[in-house]
Structure 1
Amino acid sequence: MRWLYLTHRWLGIVTCILCAIWFLSGLVMVYVPYPSWRDDERVSALPPLAASQILISPGEALAKAELKRAPTSFRLEMAGDEPVYRIVDGEWHVAVSARDGSRIESVTQDAAERMLRGAFPDSFTYLGPVEADQWTVTRRFAPYRPLHHFEADDGLASRYYVSSRTGEIVQSTTRSERMWNWFGSVPHWIYFTALRADPSLWRDVIIWTSGLATVGAIFGLWIGVARIRLRRRYGGTRMSPYRGIMKWHHVSGLIGGVFVITWLFSGWLSVGPFDLFRGIPVTPDQLARYYVPDTLTFNTSAHVLAARIGPNTKEIQFSWVGGAALFVANDGRAKTAYDARDGAPFVLTQEAIVQAAETAMSEVPIAAVKRLDEYDLYWYAHRSERVLPALRLIFNDPPRTWLTVDLKSGRIVDASDASVRWERWLFNFLHLYDHPGLLARPLLRESLIWVLSIAGFIVSITGVIVGVRYLQRA
């Protein structure tokens, strides 16, 4: 017990101030998430496609990309006053002009500003080139760097980051988001630029701080339960032997201790210590076989494509299902699929998806197929778009692979194995309370988070006070 007390005491002295910050910053994050340029924002900002300027076919643009397999993303959209094909395979990004077929290798400041003026009715101030800053430090921005940085005269001090390689917006922030994130995501994730620029070091810091805090909290709850008396009470009336701030720490730990432990533990799991939740359910080659099992081609003429572009069409997405090519027109409100061969309306069947999946995963049988017309425990929307209707393919393999397919476009929109689904409960639910039943009742969910976070903050801040007093006496 002596070593239990000593370990809890010193781990508390080291980590309680961090825990107090984490609980307060977590409350900020409930209302102000880390800035991101979401796909719905991207589509909303796009001007309508200029059909008359599309002179290069998707197949010609695809040939310019020189890919060996089906791309992970292939779309047509406006970049300023020019239609551009954007082709992505992992971290390989290619932009091809739909007007003359030239590959876009670099984008000047003036071209980036023209693109912004085509998307927003504001004037812009150029803030200079950015390699990486507080809002663009992660590796996902690497294919787009360096970035052109602009501030809009829109009353919100909105700032946009435009890739100098592809000419597309990749990040946006507002003055309010930037300010609140210094009280939210930045301290919560220990997301300071100098540290986050080294992913391995940052991950180690999260693992050690949250791991030690979890151990300290477990020991604290153990001591708290051991010290409480329900029958032979202290002084005849008191259940706790402590007084003053120690009593507050003892009682609040008993009330909120389980939550503190699960929250800290799930935070520790968020960075996948010991390579937990690092399963790769589907390989890139299997994904490519699902889309195009043989030769990579896209046989649609520029004329057929232009004929299906309405006055409000903002983008065209190109795809395949088992080698059958299709394109999907998106006006920001609805998506319409067309057969790539002749532009006729395309209706994707469940049988075609299953057959393509069997080709991709030829060594693994499909155990079950489930159509999703509404969200469930594993497919739900929480600050991100998730399409409906969708088709879930469940495979009979050791990792228990699931594929989720968009029934409109045939794109695989999610792949998971058993470890990822464990992460859904051990991290997402324990850390975010993102059960669909709670997400459907936001006031109940927010009230629960507030109550538990306040309890955790009291445990942490009283621990800080106790620790300071101990050090002063030492």
Structure 2
Amino acid sequence: MNVMLIFAHRWIGVALALFMLTWISSGTLIAFVEAPSISPGLRLLRTQALEPREGWLSLGEALARSAVARRGEPGNDAGFADARLRRLDGTPAWIIEDGRGQRFAISAIDGGLIEVTPQKAERIASAWLEVEAEEAPDISYIGTIDAPIGLRNAEALKPFHRFAVDDGLGTQVIVSARTGEVVQKLTRTQRAVAYAGNWLHLFRWLDSIGAADYRRGALSCAGFLAATAALTGLVVGWIRWRPGLFGRPTYLGGRVQPFREFWLKYHFWAGLLGGTFALSWAASGFLSTNPGQIFSSANTSPAELSHFRGERPAAIIWEWKPGAPLAISEDVLELQWSRLGDAAKLFALTRRGERRRVDLQGTIGSYSEAELLAAAGRVAGETKIAAHELIDSYDAYYYPNHRQTAEDKPLPALRVDLADAKHSSFYLDPLQGRLVAKLDDSLRWRRWLYSAAHHWDFGWFRNAGVWSVWIGTCIGSVIVLSLSALVLGWRRLRRSVRPVTARFPIPRIARVTKTSAAPSTTQQVSP
């Protein structure tokens, strides 16, 4: 058994030594370097002031007039998920997300479907940059792409227009061709870090060579093999460790490990200290790919969101027209509708990041508990609600991770527990009427087997300082382990593939040196 463990650990380690070092190093960049995307708050911060005017179209009118351009979809489409009014290149526009998750922009002037051409996107990018630099730098169009490096969960916004900024830093700006929103701004250095992080760690390079369909499978296999190497190494290390406790024997000379050579000793101690972290990250990385679909989806589907909002929105949403008499301040950048069933609220988002409710006739001040429970019941279907509780502090399953803010996981929240075999739960935002998160038994397991083991986002580790010190220490120990594995793997590989003649030398025949000419004894016979 020991021989098999050593054999498996040795040769999987030889195959994956460089991979593990690269994987851990790229994961370090992801952990400590800010995500290469623009937050919704910053995206909105540099938008033009809305300044509503008389004559702008209501949401219902805009959808009706753009129905033909939107491939014959019904004008009064009750399945819209989100509707925001903002200025797009100076033009007031309704930014719509429909029930299928598709996004598009409709002019609030004439109801036309807005096409974000490269020229329009260039003006948007210039205006957005001017807010930061007080003077618009020169930019040039590079091309249109589908997947900017490091930009996640952006399928509904693609394709994207890419522009180069003449600022001496190699900056590039990415603008969505669907909604005209600036979604990314990266310097040359930030792009290099993004490539070294997300591109390598998540196998995004497979997308670049047309093998995107195989990326999840490749990640799953690599994670499984890495976890196997870490586990077998830990077992072998514990078997070979002889600390001499309780009078038990040690190795010759009182050594507690069997190795004399520097790199072998180095790898042994690095494995005992950092092997647990390597196993934790490799195994949780394997589980992150959801092998065999053992976990439920944590994302709410378009159908679930549609049921949550209800079949038909309130008439005020379709009929209300923005106008000058609207009592909002000059720093309002966007108006956003929220709805649950036949109840509706209108929010104004300001340049300071504030979200204010706009008092309109036909809207409500806040969603009642009954309206929220009714929305949860529509998602649950025939399953009954077992319990509900308004929580004002985060728990083990509802919390903002290290890259999220309170806007992503707001408090207070209404937790709704269902009476089903999976012990499902919903977390609802009472202020905006959103279904923020959902859970079941499999997702609770995933929270601990993947998120806790991979991101260390529980207990004291939610403190940024504690988390940074701990993760830095763990990563350092695993990098030390990976470096020693790389050296030993290279040595093993060289010994295994060197020429046969080097391993089994052919005996050389000694040369005879003549010192004097010997007389010939050969006689010639005449014919």
Contact persistence 2:52–2:322 (CA under 8 A): no
For residues 138-217 of structure 1, the aligned pairs below 5 Å read: 140-153=153-166, 157-192=170-205, 194-195=207-208, 198-217=211-230
Aligned to 2:504: none
Secondary structure of the equivalent of 2:483? helix
Cα distance change on mapping 1:462 and 1:95 into 2, 3 Å = same
Q: Check conservation: 2:161, 2:177, Cα contact below 8 A.
A: yes
| Candidates 282, 285, 288, aligned match of 2:303 | 285
Confirm whether residue 414 of structure 1 aligns to residue 414 of structure 2.
Answer: no
User: Offset of 1:347 from its aligned partner?
Assistant: 2.1
Contact 1:137 1:193 in 2 (8 A): no
Are residues 1:94 and 2:96 paired?
no
The answer to whether the Cα contact below 8 Å between 1:281 and 1:401 also exists between their aligned partners in 2 is no
- The offset of 1:69, in angstroms, is 4.1
Aligned to 1:47: 48
CA–CA separation in structure 1 for the residues paired with 2:399 and 2:492 = 47
**Bigger radius of gyration, 1 or 2?**
2
The answer for unaligned runs of 5 or more in structure 1 is none
Q: 1:277 to 1:287 in 2, by over 3 A?
A: same
Shift in CA distance, 425/154, structure 1 to aligned 2, threshold 3 Å: farther
Report the alpha carbon displacement of residue 340 of structure 1 after superposing the two structures with TM.
Answer: 5.8
Looking at structure 1, the residues matched to 486 and 6 of structure 2 have their Cα atoms a distance apart, in angstroms, of: 16
Q: What percent identity do the matched residue pairs reach?
A: 29
Q: 1:201 to 1:157 in 2, by over 3 A?
A: same
Q: Give the match for residue 515 of structure 2.
A: none
CA shift for structure 1 position 241: 0.6
Residues in 1 aligned to 2:306 and 2:360: alpha-carbon distance in whole angstroms: 18
The amino acid of 2:307's aligned partner reads R
Instruction: Tell me the TM-score normalised to structure 2 length.
Output: 0.82
1:22 Cα offset (Å): 2.1
Please tell me whether the aligned partners of residues 81 and 118 of structure 1 are also in contact (alpha carbons under 8 angstroms): no
Query: For residue 347 of structure 2, what is the aligned residue in structure 1?
Result: 328
> Tell me, what secondary structure is at the counterpart of 2:303?
helix
- Kept in 1, the 8 Å contact 2:54–2:322? The answer is no
* Residues 149, 194 of structure 2: 8 Å contact kept: no
Matched, 1:430 2:453: yes
Q: Does the 8 A contact of 2:175 with 2:184 survive in 1?
A: yes
Q: CA deviation at 1:280?
A: 6.6
| Amino acid corresponding to residue 470 of structure 1 in structure 2 | R
Structure 2: runs of 5+ lacking an equivalent:
68-72, 131-135, 497-527
**Would you say 1:233 and 2:250 are equivalent positions?**
yes
What CA distance in whole angstroms lies between the structure 1 residues aligned with 2:210 and 2:359?
44
Provide the secondary structure at the position in 1 that maps to 2:11. helix
Distance 1:359 1:185, change over 3 A: closer
Matches within 5 A, 1:16-165: 16-52=17-53, 55-63=56-64, 64=66, 66=73, 68-89=77-98, 90-104=100-114, 106-121=115-130, 122-132=136-146, 135=149, 140-153=153-166, 157-165=170-178
Q: Could you list the per-position Cα deviations for residues 144-183 of structure 1 after superposition, in whole angstroms to 9, with x for gaps in the alignment?
A: 4442212345665442222334322233323332122233
Q: Within the alignment, does 1:256 sit opposite 2:274 as a pair?
A: yes
Q: Which one is further off, 2-11 or 164-173?
A: 164-173
More displaced 10-residue stretch of structure 1: 115-124 or 404-413: 115-124
Q: CA RMSD in A?
A: 2.6
How many pairs are equivalent?
470
Paired residues of 1:221 and 1:257 also in contact (CA < 8 A): yes
Q: Say yes or no: does 1:373 pair with 2:387.
A: no
Counterpart of 1:128, as a letter, is I
Q: Which segment is superposed worse, 388-397 or 240-249?
A: 388-397
**Retained in 2: the 8 A contact 1:51–1:309?**
no
Question: What amino acid maps onto 2:176 in structure 1?
Answer: S
Distance in 1 (alpha carbons) for counterparts of 2:378 and 2:204: 42
2:15 maps to 14
- 1:417–1:25 CA distance, 2 compared to 1 (3 A): same
Cα displacement string for residues 351-399 of structure 1 (whole angstroms, at most 9, x for unaligned residues): 3211232244241222222223333322222212322332222222223
Residues 32, 177 of structure 1: 8 Å contact kept: no
Provide the rounded CA distance (Å) in 2 between the counterparts of 1:54 and 1:11. 69
CA offsets 1:303-323 (integer angstroms, 9 cap, x no match):
469614421111111121122
After TM superposition, give the deviation of residue 217 of structure 1 in Å: 1.1
Distance 1:88 1:294, change over 3 A: closer
In 2: Cα distance, 1:136 partner to 1:452 partner = 24
The one-letter code matched in structure 1 to 2:97 is V
Partner Cα distance (2:372, 2:167) in 1: 45
TM-score, with structure 1 as normaliser = 0.90
Does the CA-based 8 Å contact 2:51-2:324 persist in structure 1?
no
Amino acid at match of 2:418: F
SS at match of 1:307: coil
